[in-house]
Amino acid sequence: MESCTKDTSAPIYPAFRIAALCGGKLDAHGRGILHCPGPLHKRNDRNKSLSVKDGPDHRALLNCFAGCTVTSILNELGLTKRDLFVKGPPLTAAECKEAALRERSRRKWEEAQRLAARRVRDWTHLRDEFGSELAALPDGDGRERELTRLYHFTLDRLRAVEAEQTRLGKQAAK
Ligand SMILES: [Zn+2]
């Protein structure tokens, strides 16, 4: 998208975006008369009928002198009325603080999930080892009871950690 300003860190307000989509530019005061993409200009708008302004709160103000409605103009540009407004109003200090806390909490849950996932891998590995040792034992081998006990122990641990991992995943998603 074309920007009318050289400052790349400056936000692109809706009116400037709409002007760019109409193939034009606004002046330094955020005003311009552009070719209207609206439906009342079947053979293109040669005389430039559309006034575009960067309004209060950087709301985009559109006015077609030929009478295209704002909705029909937005339609042509693939936009909706919401696109006339700056998205995401600036947060209050309290909202900023709350958002930061939420983010920190989310990161903690994710870290806990990573640890749980590592434990799942460890217990899975042990269970598989005991399982294959058990499977390879010849009949009547004296170690069978002990190996069976170990196998079930690792299986229980694995199920517990998996349950923990699921719970952590639900928490993190909140
Ligand atoms: Zn028009």
pLDDT single digits (tens) 78-123: 899 998 998 765 566 777 677 677 777 877 888 888 899 999 999 9
Q: Say what the pTM is.
A: 0.48
**For residue 28, how far is its CA from the centre of ligand 1 (angstroms)?**
23
**For residue 159, how far is its CA from the centre of ligand 1 (angstroms)?**
65
Q: At what angle do helices 93-136 and 144-173 cross, to 10 degrees?
A: 160
**For residue 70, how far is its CA from the centre of ligand 1 (angstroms)?**
9
Q: For the chain, what is the largest distance between any 2 Cα atoms, rounded to a whole number of angstroms? A: 98
What is each CA distance from 108 to 113, 164, 171, in whole angstroms?
9, 15, 10
Shortest CA distance to 136 belongs to which of 144, 125, 126, 146? Answer: 144
pLDDT single digits (tens) 3-62: 344 444 445 788 988 998 898 999 989 999 999 999 999 778 888 999 999 999 889 999
